[in-house]
Structure formats: C-alpha cells, structure tokens
Amino acid sequence: MMLERGSVIYNEVTELKIINDQLDVIFLSLLSRTPTEREVASAKREIRSAGNAGFGNVIWALLNTREFLFIQ
C-alpha cells in the first residue's frame, strides 16, 4: 500500500523533483532520520538502474532492515 498512488509517501516523493529530497522523505518516513552519504550513493545507483521502480526497491530494502523493525 505504501507504494501505491495516493499513499502519503508516494505523493510526497513524486511531488519532489530532486532525488536527494526524495530520499530524505523516504528515510524520514521510515527510519525517522536522513540517509548517510553511503546510503544516498547506494539508493541513487538503484534508482538509476531500475528507474522509478528503484524508489520502491529502496523502500522495501529499508522495510526489511533491523533498524526499521526496532523503530516499529
């Protein structure tokens, strides 16, 4: 549901045009923090290789981290 049109995270990410801002929204929404430089670089590589689906891949990757489980 998070990746579907109309969800809060989807709307916020698609409204922004700068990839760093989009990644900030994703990280702040899921982990309550901004991404590190290393995480930004990894996410950008994924988004470049997968296109817009890369945003979904980044979200799924974060949902499967221990950090996300700890927060939830």
CB 24 within 8 A of CB 35: yes
33-70 residue pLDDT tens: 999 999 999 999 999 999 988 999 999 999 999 888 77
Q: Residue 54 CB: number of other CB atoms within 10 A?
A: 17
The answer to whether residue 29 scores a pLDDT higher than 90 is: yes
- Taking only the tens place, the pLDDT of each residue in 3-25 is 677 788 888 998 999 999 999 99
Give 28's pLDDT tier (boundaries 50, 70, 90). very high
